[in-house]
Amino acid sequence: MIAMLPLSVTTCALAQAAAPDYLQRHKLPEPVLRPTHHAGDFDSEMVDCPQVLRHQGRWLMQYTGFDGEKYRIGLAESEDLIHWTRAGMILDAGGQGEWDYGSAGGGWLIEHAGWWYLFYCGFPQPGYEVGPGGTGLAKGKDLRQLEKLPEAPVLRTGVEGWDSGGIYKAAVYRLDGRFVMFYNAKDRADGWIEQTGLATSHDLVHWEKHPDNPILRVGPEGAWDSRFASDPVLNLIDGVWHLFYYGFDGQHAGDGVAISEDGGFTRWRKCEHNPIVAHGEAGSYDSLHAHKPFVLEHEGVFYHYYCAVGERDRAIALATSRPVRP
């Protein structure tokens, strides 16, 4: 049983008193995973893009590491969702001349028919998101023996329009006999606007983009999500679909949620309590950004993992719907 702390634990949601209990957010005093700062480690400079899942009686976190040159994907393990032990890298960037030579990060795992499928964002050149990204796919019976599919990238940039400048992180689910992918992408226009789209598949390899994309758009000028509406994660809460995402206004990024208006995936109402996780005060571990959500519910508590960016580093942090003991 997770012990509860007093309500004096730092909270971060705007309009906190009015938000429903499941959207309350209490930040832990320290990130749950930081970069190692050890030369030679794949995650020496940054850790990012967490996804947490239950497998064979343990918690696994798939996350992205950055060593100052390339993104790669690693794994961590936990017994309590709070304390994490690194288990090593599970996906490397491609070789010279391959489409993902620059980086392989922003991953998403799904288990289907006895296989693991790892979707990831590949970039052609080393550095921080250099070149237009695409969605790659690796497959394996074991998470430490994944092989990239020759069909990759399985989702490419559009010829023109909202996703013509690059495709980023994918979140994939099996629903009603088909696979559904939410992804964020940017256009080629000046200003770098990222929005969220939808694609569907019957085999995890061949994807069809929805004609109504982007299904979650940026907010108006001056809004907390006026530049980005990105990194979507789907949750079914009390029978209603919720799409957690992060917004960016050009200065700070935070996490919010949109709620399905019709039970489907193309009409979303942004929650009036957004952002539910906002950047922290000066000097805090998330003083610049608190973004890129992954949300799960366990024993009545919602665990909201996110990428925390402060003056020190880029780390993975956790906020919960009720205070928990670190």
The CA R_g of the chain, rounded to the nearest whole Å, is 18
Tens of pLDDT along 272-317?
A: 999 999 999 999 999 999 999 999 999 999 999 999 999 999 999 9
Is this prediction's pTM over 0.75?
yes
Average pLDDT over residues 45-69: 97
Residue 190 pLDDT > 80, yes or no? no
Number of other residues whose CB lies within 10 A of the CB of residue 303: 20
Tens of pLDDT along 60-119?
A: 999 999 999 999 999 999 999 999 999 999 999 999 999 999 999 999 999 999 999 999
* HSE-up (13 A, CA, CB side) for residue 112: 18
What is the DSSP secondary-structure string of 160-183? SSTTSSEEEEEEEEEETTEEEEEE
What are residue 260's DSSP bridge partners? 268
Q: What is the pLDDT of residue 178?
A: 97
Tell me how far CA of residue 19 lies from CA of 231, 254, 317, in angstroms.
22, 16, 21
Please state, in angstroms and rounded to a whole number, the distance separating the CA atoms of residues 97 and 173: 31
What are residue 143's DSSP bridge partners? none
Q: What is the pLDDT of residue 123?
A: 94
CA-based end-to-end distance of the chain: 13
Q: What is the pLDDT of residue 226?
A: 98
- Which amino acid does the sequence have at 192? W
What are residue 244's DSSP bridge partners? 233, 257
Q: What is the pLDDT of residue 17?
A: 53
Per-residue tokens: 206:
């061949």
Residues 87, 76 contacting (CB under 8 angstroms): yes
Number of other residues whose CB lies within 10 A of the CB of residue 195: 22
Phi, psi of 16 (to 5 degrees): -55, -45
* HSE-up (13 A, CA, CB side) for residue 66: 19
Average pLDDT over residues 218-233: 98
Please state, in angstroms and rounded to a whole number, the distance separating the CA atoms of residues 212 and 307: 29
Residue 5 pLDDT > 60, yes or no? no
Q: What is the pLDDT of residue 145?
A: 96
CA 23 vs. chain centroid, Å, equals 18
Tens of pLDDT along 6-29?
A: 222 333 333 345 799 999 999 999
Q: What is the pLDDT of residue 215?
A: 98
Tens of pLDDT along 111-169?
A: 999 999 999 999 998 887 777 889 999 999 999 999 999 998 999 999 999 999 999 99
Tell me how far CA of residue 57 lies from CA of 54, 90, 216, in angstroms.
7, 20, 35
CA 45 vs. chain centroid, Å, equals 18
Burial (CB < 10 A; 0-12, 13-18, 19+), residue 40, is: exposed
What are residue 110's DSSP bridge partners? 117
H or E stretch at 185: strand 178-186
Average pLDDT over residues 227-249: 98
Q: Which residue, among 243, 313, 245, 320, has the nearest Cα to 48 in the 3D structure?
A: 313
Beta strands 194-201 and 46-55, pairing class: unpaired
